[in-house]
């Protein structure tokens, strides 16, 4: 260990601690901007400067502690330099905060408030005409970029997509796709992990709140919402709840007050996905089909494999995602059951994900001529919409999901966490193939935040070896194994975002690994407390097959619930 003094307080910490970590240990906060607790990025913004006993300035986030060090975190020199740094950043930053989606939630704005800076006194060099509006998911606004590099690390090292990178030197230095292309012209998978780490408004989702409200205000349109598994354990954070607290009932009440006609649960079509995907796996196992089979519900992952490993597309399950299955049912089964023509139904998805916006707009995702999903709101947009009509979740009582999709299983709920699809599928595939009940429904080795997990289970005489993968760097590793014929698995769940959908790019800001873990705990406690924990035991799923789909993987099911991919 090593002992040092910070602002005259003595602290003893491990040798490999930074000054920033040591200060935190004794409750001293040093301002940061480029630093992120889950990332390596350091010392780009220079705001975390501190002064040592020799009057030398150093960055607290990147300087390791030394025995006997004496540090001041707010000396005159430190404060004046920090203010100068902020002025320099602002001179190259669009300061029209009212126009910015991060207004009130911007890390730079917060620092300016602390340092009492309302406007830069330097010559402004920013060009505010550079928004990239090329796609349905993510808007990139160069005029807001502070070049902290968090997004580049996320895109290059965690997701290995490298849509974003560095260009030019010195005052021309910028963060941009190569050759200044638009995101749509790169391999961007639209996962929005770059947005999750962006401290300012340089990256944001393409908002659809106004389209949704236009539909709600139209008396001739029946507007319905589906709520994704991961949203209920995170949206509470926007209203002061701890991560992982399930606010599903309050969210339903809030959306009814917003004006939605019916509120449904994507967990229901997650159950349906398990039936369709489970039978597809069984059929591949029995008929020498292409194995390993890869799950297909995470749209950023689909974009990744289509762009980078097109020869492996036959490994993907043909199942649409639960979002799209719900959309297809809303314009067919629900439409005829309710006697409302599909053109009068406007289907909104409430999702933790920005890639879901792109998925909903894919050419093939329609039923007859109707879009399956008309608009996708991220968790953040949904919270904004609720706040915009002055509702606070806290004061609402719990409401229930509507019929005919009002019951779902714990297996559907765990889709929201990495490993959930695998566990849900194994519960059903095992019981369908063996006609025996599982003693223990918990496949705990599939759970948790690790990037690659393994599950092995004996199903009768078949040993099924599965892998659970989250984050695209890990997906790439598994795809390389398949490519080289060295993949030991039969069934592989892949989720694009670290930790699964609970860590999606549309979730409330501040998704650190610790927060992801708390959301995961929330997801598993929903499953634990569910009366139905197997998708095939959901009575409304059974009824849907009796009334409409006939049987799993039927012609009708294929028409509505399965898809194809673009090499």
Q: Catalytic residue positions? A: 277, 280, 297, 317, 356, 359, 364, 501
x/- track of binding to ligand HC1 for residues 181-220 (CB under 6 A): ----------------------------------------
**Residue among 31, 192, 236, 322 that touches ligand HC1 (CB under 6 A):** 322
CB atoms within 10 A of CB 272: 29
**How many chain residues interact with ligand HC1 (CB under 6 A)?**
19
Pairing assessment for the beta strands 49-52 and 138-141 based on DSSP bridges: unpaired
Binding part of the chain for ligand HC1, among 19-27, 60-68, 133-141, 320-328 by CB under 6 A, reads 320-328
From the CB of 150, what's the least distance to ligand HC1, in Å?
A: 22
From the CB of 22, what's the least distance to ligand HC1, in Å?
A: 38
- Identity of the residue, 100 or 446, whose beta carbon is nearer to ligand HC1 in the bound complex: 446
Q: Which of 271, 562, 515, 541 is closest to 414 using CA atoms?
A: 271
Show contacts with ligand HC1 in window 469-488 (CB under 6 A): none
SS3 state at 448: coil
Q: Residue 353, interface with ligand HC1 (CB under 6 A)?
A: yes
Helix (H) or strand (E) holding 384: helix 379-388
Q: Residue 415, interface with ligand HC1 (CB under 6 A)?
A: yes
* Helix/strand/coil percent split, the chain, to 5: 40, 15, 40
Nearest 5°: the CA angle 173, 176, 182 is 145
- Identity of the residue, 73 or 347, whose beta carbon is nearer to ligand HC1 in the bound complex: 347
**Residue among 149, 176, 298, 428 that touches ligand HC1 (CB under 6 A):** 298
- Cα(137)–Cα(505) distance, integer angstroms: 10
- Cα(244)–Cα(265) distance, integer angstroms: 18
Q: Residue 511, interface with ligand HC1 (CB under 6 A)?
A: no
- Identity of the residue, 95 or 266, whose beta carbon is nearer to ligand HC1 in the bound complex: 266
**Residue among 120, 323, 382, 563 that touches ligand HC1 (CB under 6 A):** 323
- Cα(538)–Cα(507) distance, integer angstroms: 28
Residues 6+ apart with CB under 8 A from 460: 433, 434
- Identity of the residue, 420 or 552, whose beta carbon is nearer to ligand HC1 in the bound complex: 420
DSSP string for 523-535? HHHHHHT-S---G
From the CB of 545, what's the least distance to ligand HC1, in Å?
A: 19
Q: Residue 356, interface with ligand HC1 (CB under 6 A)?
A: yes
Q: Residue 501, interface with ligand HC1 (CB under 6 A)?
A: yes
Q: Which of 384, 413, 406 is closest to 235 using CA atoms?
A: 384
**Gyration radius of the chain's alpha carbons:** 25
Binding part of the chain for ligand HC1, among 21-29, 243-251, 352-360, 361-369 by CB under 6 A, reads 352-360
Burial 122-134 (b: 16+ CB within 10 A, else e): eeeebeeebebeb
From the CB of 148, what's the least distance to ligand HC1, in Å?
A: 26
Binding part of the chain for ligand HC1, among 109-117, 349-357, 432-440, 541-549 by CB under 6 A, reads 349-357
DSSP string for 224-287? EEEE-TTGGGTGGGGGTPPTT---HHHHHHHHHHHT-SEEEEHHHHHHHHHHHHHHHHHHHHHT
x/- track of binding to ligand HC1 for residues 370-409 (CB under 6 A): ----------------------------------------
Give 160's Cβ-side CA count (13 Å radius).
15
**Residue among 321, 347, 408, 563 that touches ligand HC1 (CB under 6 A):** 321
Q: Residue 520, interface with ligand HC1 (CB under 6 A)?
A: no
- Identity of the residue, 86 or 495, whose beta carbon is nearer to ligand HC1 in the bound complex: 495
x/- track of binding to ligand HC1 for residues 106-145 (CB under 6 A): ----------------------------------------
> Cβ distance 13 to 1 under 8 Å?
yes
From the CB of 496, what's the least distance to ligand HC1, in Å?
A: 8
**Residue among 183, 297, 386, 424 that touches ligand HC1 (CB under 6 A):** 297
> Cβ distance 466 to 493 under 8 Å?
yes
From the CB of 128, what's the least distance to ligand HC1, in Å?
A: 32
- Identity of the residue, 296 or 553, whose beta carbon is nearer to ligand HC1 in the bound complex: 296
Binding part of the chain for ligand HC1, among 125-133, 168-176, 274-282, 317-325 by CB under 6 A, reads 317-325
DSSP state of 402: P
SS3 state at 134: coil
DSSP string for 337-371? HHT--GGGEEEEEEES-SHHHHHHT-TT-EETTEE
Show contacts with ligand HC1 in window 215-274 (CB under 6 A): 228-230, 266, 270
- Identity of the residue, 73 or 428, whose beta carbon is nearer to ligand HC1 in the bound complex: 428
Nearest 5°: the CA angle 254, 258, 262 is 80
Q: Where are the alpha helices (DSSP H) in 1-115?
A: 19-25, 76-91, 107-114
The CA-atom distances, in angstroms, between 460 and each of 288, 433, 434 are 18, 8, 6
From the CB of 297, what's the least distance to ligand HC1, in Å?
A: 3
Tokens of 288: 């020498």
- Identity of the residue, 144 or 453, whose beta carbon is nearer to ligand HC1 in the bound complex: 453
Minimal CB distance residue for ligand HC1: 501
From the CB of 416, what's the least distance to ligand HC1, in Å?
A: 4
Q: Residue 352, interface with ligand HC1 (CB under 6 A)?
A: yes
From the CB of 535, what's the least distance to ligand HC1, in Å?
A: 11
**Residue among 504, 505, 508, 552 that touches ligand HC1 (CB under 6 A):** 504
Q: Which of 134, 137, 144 is closest to 101 using CA atoms?
A: 144
| Residues engaged in binding ligand HC1 (CB under 6 A) | 228-230, 266, 270, 297-298, 321-323, 351-353, 356, 415-416, 500-501, 504
């Amino acid at each position: 260990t090593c002992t040092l003094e910070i602002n005259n307080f003595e602290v003893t910490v491990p040798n490999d601690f930074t000054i920033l970590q040591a200060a935190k240990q004794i409750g001293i906060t040093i301002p940061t901007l480029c630093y992120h607790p889950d990332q390596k990025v350091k010392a780009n913004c220079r705001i975390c400067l501190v002064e040592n006993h020799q009057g030398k300035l150093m960055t607290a986030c990147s300087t390791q502690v030394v025995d006997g060090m004496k540090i001041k975190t707010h000396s005159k020199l430190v404060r004046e330099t920090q203010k100068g740094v902020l002025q320099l950043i602002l001179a190259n930053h669009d300061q029209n905060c009212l126009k910015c989606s991060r207004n009130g939630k911007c890390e730079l704005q917060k620092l300016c408030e602390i340092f009492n800076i309302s406007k830069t006194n330097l010559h402004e060099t920013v060009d505010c005409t550079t928004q990239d509006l090329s796609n349905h998911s993510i808007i990139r606004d160069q005029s807001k970029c502070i070049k902290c590099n968090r997004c580049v690390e996320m895109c290059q090292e965690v997701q290995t997509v490298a849509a974003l990178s560095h260009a030019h030197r010195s005052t021309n230095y910028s963060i941009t796709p190569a050759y200044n292309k638009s995101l749509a012209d790169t391999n961007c998978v639209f996962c929005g992990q770059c947005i999750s780490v962006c401290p300012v408004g340089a990256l944001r989702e393409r908002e659809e709140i106004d389209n949704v409200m236009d539909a709600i205000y139209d008396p001739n349109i029946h507007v319905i919402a589906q709520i994704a598994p991961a949203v209920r354990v995170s949206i509470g954070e926007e209203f002061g709840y701890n991560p992982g607290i399930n606010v599903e009932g309050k969210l339903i009440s809030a959306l009814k007050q917003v004006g939605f006609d019916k509120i449904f649960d994507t967990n229901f079509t997650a159950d349906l996905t398990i039936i369709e995907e489970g039978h597809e796996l069984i059929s591949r196992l029995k008929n020498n089909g292409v194995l390993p089979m890869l799950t297909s519900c995470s749209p950023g992952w689909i974009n990744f494999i289509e762009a980078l490993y097109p020869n492996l597309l036959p490994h993907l399950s043909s199942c649409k995602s639960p979002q799209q299955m719900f959309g297809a049912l809303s314009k067919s089964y629900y439409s005829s059951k309710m006697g409302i023509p599909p053109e009068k139904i406007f289907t909104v998805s409430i999702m933790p994900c920005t890639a879901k916006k792109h998925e909903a707009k894919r050419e093939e995702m329609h039923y007859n001529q109707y879009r399956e999903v008309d608009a996708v709101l991220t968790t953040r947009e949904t919270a904004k919409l609720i706040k915009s009509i002055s509702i606070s979740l806290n004061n609402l009582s719990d409401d229930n999901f509507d019929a005919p999709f009002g019951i779902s299983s714990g297996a559907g709920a765990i889709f929201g966490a990495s490993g959930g699809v695998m566990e849900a599928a194994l519960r059903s595939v095992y019981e369908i193939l063996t006609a025996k009940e599982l003693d223990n429904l918990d496949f705990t080795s599939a759970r948790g935040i690790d990037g690659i997990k393994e599950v092995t289970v004996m199903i009768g005489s078949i040993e099924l070896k599965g892998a659970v993968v989250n984050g695209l760097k890990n997906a790439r590793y598994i795809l390389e194994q398949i490519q080289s014929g060295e993949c030991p698995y039969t069934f592989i769940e892949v989720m694009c975002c670290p930790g699964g959908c609970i860590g999606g790019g549309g979730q409330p800001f501040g998704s650190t690994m610790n927060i992801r873990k708390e959301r995961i705990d929330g997801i598993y406690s929903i499953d634990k407390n569910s009366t139905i924990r197997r998708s095939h035991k959901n009575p409304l799923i059974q009824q849907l097959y009796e009334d409409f789909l006939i049987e799993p993987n039927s012609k009708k099911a294929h028409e509505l619930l399965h898809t194809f991919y673009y090499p």
